[in-house]
Amino acid sequence: MDPNDQSAATVEANFDSLVGPTHNYAGLAHGNLLSAEHAGLVAYPRQAAMQGLDKMRRLRSLGLTQGVLPPQVRPDVEFLRSVGVSGADDAAVIARAARETPRLLASAASSSSMWAANAATVSPAADTSDGRVHLTTANLVTNAHRAIEPPQTTRTLRAIFRDESRFAVHDALPATPDYADEGAANHTRFAREHGDAGVELFVYGRLGPGEGSVAIPRRFPARQTLEASRAIARLHGLDGKGVVYAQQHPEAIDAGVFHNDVIAVGNGPVLLAHELAFADRDDTLASLGKACEARGFELCHVEIGSADVPLELAIKRYLFNSQLVTLPRGGMALIAPTDCQDEPRIVEALDRIVADASNPIGAVHYVDVRQSMQNGGGPACLRLRVVLGPQDREGVAPGVILTDDLGGKLEGWIERHYREQLNPADLADPKLLEECRTALDELTGILEIGSIYPFQRDAVTVW
Ligand code: SUG
C-alpha cells in the first residue's frame, strides 16, 4: 500500500488563498508592525502570487492535501460608492478616489483576502453537534480594508464547500465592535488524531459589554472579542467540554501581536507558544491540559521563553506564524518563514525543539513568502485549515484541490495576468480593475467553481 495514500483517512487540508493582482503595501493595518514598516514600498504581485503557489506545492510535496482559494475583486468600487465616492462609471469612481481620498482607494484595492487564516473559523465534523464541518466567515470589523471581505468570502466558501449535508457555511457575525472576529487566526484545535473529537481554543483580546473587565492593550486594538468567540462556538454546536477560551496577553498585542497566530501555533496534541502568548499562562495551560485529558490525550506544550527568543524578535521574524503539520508518514514538521533562517537565536531554539524527542516535531522546512510577510502575513496567515474525512472530501469542489496539472495552470495564469510591480500610484490606473476581473473570470474556470463574483453575475442578462 502506498504510505502516501490518504484516501480513507481524515486529513487536515490547507486551503491557501492566491495573492491577488493588486497586492500592494499601503500601511493600512494599525497594530501590524510589518504593514506599517513597509507602507509605500513597491510591491511585486507576480512574485507574491508565485511565492504563495510555491508554498502550496511544497506542502503538497510533503504528502499533504492542499486546496486553493481565489482572491477577491479589487479595487472594490462598490465600497467606494458606499462611502460617497461617486462617478459616472467605475473608472470615474477610481479617478475621483485617487484624487480626493487615496487612502480609501488603497483600502478598496488591498489584496488582504490573501490571508486565508482570517477568512473563517472552522470546526471539524468530529466536534460539532450535527456532525457537519462548520465554517463561520470572519467579519473583520477592526479594519475598513478587511471589513469589505466577508460577503465575497461567504460566496467563495459556499461555492467550494458546496455539499450542505457535509458543510455549514455561516454568514459573518454582526459587524459591530462587540462581535469583532478575525477567524481562524485566533482559533486553534487540538486532537489526538485529526478525526477524533478535539479541543477548540478560542483566543480573544477583549471582552464584550457587561462581561466585567480585564486588562486590555493600550497602544493597539484587540481585534477579537470573547463574545464573538462564544457566538461561533454556539453556531458550530460545540460541546462545552471541548472548548477553552483564553485571553491574549495585552502586552503582546501592544508589541505587535495583532492575531494569536503571530505568537502561538498548535496541531494534534501539540501547542508551540511563546511564554507571553496568554494573559494568564498557567491558567490557560491548566484549562487546556484538563480539556485534552477529558478527550483522552495529553497536551504536549512546547514553549519558547523570552530569554531564548525575545517577544519583539519572534514578532519581527514571524517564528510562530509557522504551519505545524502532521506528516502522512508520521511525525510533524514546522513550515517556517525564511526570515527566521538567518536569526541564530531562532535557529537555535528550533534546533533544540527538533532534537527533543519528547515532542513529535521532527523537521523544519523554510518557505519564502516575503512579499506577504512585508504586509504582516507569514506562512500560517496564508492558509485556512479544514479537517476533512473521506465523505467531506467528496463534498468539496474538486477543481480547487492542488494537483501537478492545476499547479501548472495556475503558474501560467499568474504569468499571463499579473503585473511584475505595483507602485502606490498605480492604484489610480483604471486598467487594474479590468485586469483583475479578466484574471478572476478565467480563474473561476480553471478552478471549476462557477460564477462567484458579482461582476460575473451582473454580466448575465436576465430576460
Ligand atoms: O490584517 N495585513 C493583514 C495581515 C493578516 C495576517 N493574518 C494572520 N496573522 N492570520 C492584517 O493586519 C496589511 C495591508 C496593507 O497595509 O497594505 C494587512 O492588512
Q: Please list, residue by residue across 310-339, b when 16 or more beta carbons sit within 10 angstroms of its beta carbon and e when fewer do.
A: ebeebbbbbbbbbbbbbebeeebbbbbbeb
Task: Name all residues whose Cβ lies below 6 A of ligand 1.
Answer: 25-29, 32, 35, 110, 112, 115, 117-118, 146, 185, 258-259, 261-262, 375-377, 381
The cell numbers describing 41, all together, are 514600498
The cell numbers describing 27, all together, are 500601511
Residue whose grid cell is 497536551: 299
Give the integer Cα–Cα distance in Å for 66 and 113.
18
Q: Which residues, listed in sequence order, are joined to residue 300 by a DSSP beta bridge? A: 270
CA 400 to chain centre: 17
Give the integer Cα–Cα distance in Å for 251 and 233.
26
211 is catalytic: no
On the question of pLDDT at 177 being above 80, the answer is: yes
Residue whose grid cell is 493600512: 28
Give the integer Cα–Cα distance in Å for 117 and 104.
24
- Alpha helices, DSSP H, located in 110-245: 144-147, 150-160, 226-235
Q: What is the pLDDT of residues 303-334, one digit of tens each?
A: 999 999 999 999 999 999 999 999 999 999 99
Query: Would you kindly state where each structural domain of the chain is located, as residue ranges?
Result: 11-74+110-447
Evaluate the omega torsion of the peptide bond into residue 75 and state whether it is cis, within 30 degrees of 0: yes
**What pLDDT is recorded for position 462?**
44
pTM: 0.97
CA nearest ligand 1 atom 9, residue: 381
Fold of the domain built from segment(s) 11-74+110-447? L-arginine/glycine Amidinotransferase; Chain A (3.75.10)
How many CA atoms, within 13 angstroms, populate the side-chain half-sphere of residue 381? 28
The cell numbers describing 136, all together, are 463561520
Residue from 23, 134, 259, 274 carrying the catalytic annotation: 259
Residue from 182, 194, 236, 249 carrying the catalytic annotation: 182
Give me the phi and psi of 326, to 5 degrees please. Answer: -90, 125
CA nearest ligand 1 atom 7, residue: 381
Q: What is the pLDDT of residues 114-125, one digit of tens each?
A: 999 999 999 999
Average pLDDT over residues 389-410: 98
417 is catalytic: no
Q: Which atom of ligand 1 is nearest to the CA of 118?
A: 10
Q: Which atom of ligand 1 is nearest to the CA of 39?
A: 16
Q: Which atom of ligand 1 is nearest to the CA of 376?
A: 4
What is the DSSP track for 169-206? Answer: EEPPPPSSGGG---GGGGEEEE-SSTTS--EEEEEESB
Give the 3-state secondary structure of residue 250.
helix
On the question of pLDDT at 279 being above 50, the answer is: yes
Average pLDDT over residues 252-259: 98
Give the integer Cα–Cα distance in Å for 259 and 116.
13
259 is catalytic: yes
Name the band, by pLDDT with cuts 50, 70 and 90, for residue 461. Answer: very low
**What pLDDT is recorded for position 463?**
38
